[in-house]
Amino acid sequence: MGQRLKGKVAVVTGGGGGIGRGVALAMSAEGASVVVTDPGVKDGVKVADKVVDEIKKLNGNAVANYDSVATIVAAEKIIDAAVTNFGRVDILVNCAGNFMPVPTVEMTQENWDSIMAVHLGGHFACSRAAAKQMIKQKSPGSITNISSFAGFPRYDPRGAAYSTAKAGVVGFTLALSYEFKQYGIRVNAIFPLATTQLFPGTTPRGGSIMPSTTGLNPEDIAPIFVYLGTDEAKDVTGQMIYAAGGDFCILDRPMKPRLFVRKTGKWTVDELVSTFPGLNLEV
């Protein structure tokens, strides 16, 4: 492996398993010092500790953090862990997530709030804390978020809360890419397909939107996260990137105009009633 991230410090939330673990290992392999953040426990062992041990056995440099991503206070502790241990932060990867496939009419307030707190709240709080440090350092930085095609479902959605949160991550990513450009902080979002604890199974996925996947190993898509953290990606920001196995695709931004209709003056309801059926709209 090369050392394209030598001297850089990366924070990976949700780094205790799945995509986050693969990203943390790949960042370390390219020379970054890594903060692996995950509050999870498996078989009585903190999952962040297990990944840190993996990194150290490969002669990498890493520390574990167990704070939640869901609040500003906790997110600041996460970034403080990077500054305290390694002196700075250059890369943030927002991998932390949760999932509850609950129909809307059965969803509780707690279900909804939990999804929003971890996905949207976590992306916001950690990005806020990381950007403050990057601006203080007066150095370029990289923030990579995780969205999903579930945010713009063309098939049976995986729950309205999850879809809403993932669509929100897209808007958040685009807004930050504009806001932070003046500081040299680039912000992108990955739309991944991989086998994870939240989405197990190895059957090929896709088909309705993308060609069926040829692989679902989360480690296969880690290099694109690494790339976005390199100096070579200094001009890549505001991008939506699909990644699965050996595939990646640069996605168009949502809300691209599909059909534009104009008349002179105000539409009447009767005119709309007669016009819409001929537009061949599809869900």
Known catalytic residues are 162, 166
CA distance 231 to 144: 14
Other CB atoms within a 10 A radius of the CB of residue 72 amount to 13
Which two three-digit tokens encode residue 269? Answer: 């309801």
CA distance 149 to 163: 8
What DSSP line would sit under the chain, residue for residue?
Answer: ---TTTT-EEEEETTTSHHHHHHHHHHHHTT-EEEEE---EETTEEHHHHHHHHHHHTT-EEEEE---SSSHHHHHHHHHHHHHHHS---EEEE---------GGG--HHHHHHHHIIIIIHHHHHHHHHHHHHHHHT--EEEEEE--GGGS-SSS-S-HHHHHHHHHHHHHHHHHHHHSGGGTEEEEEEEE----SSS---S---SSSSPPPS---GGGGHHHHHHHHSGGGTT--S-EEEEETTEEEEEPPTT--------SSPPPHHHHHHHGGGG----
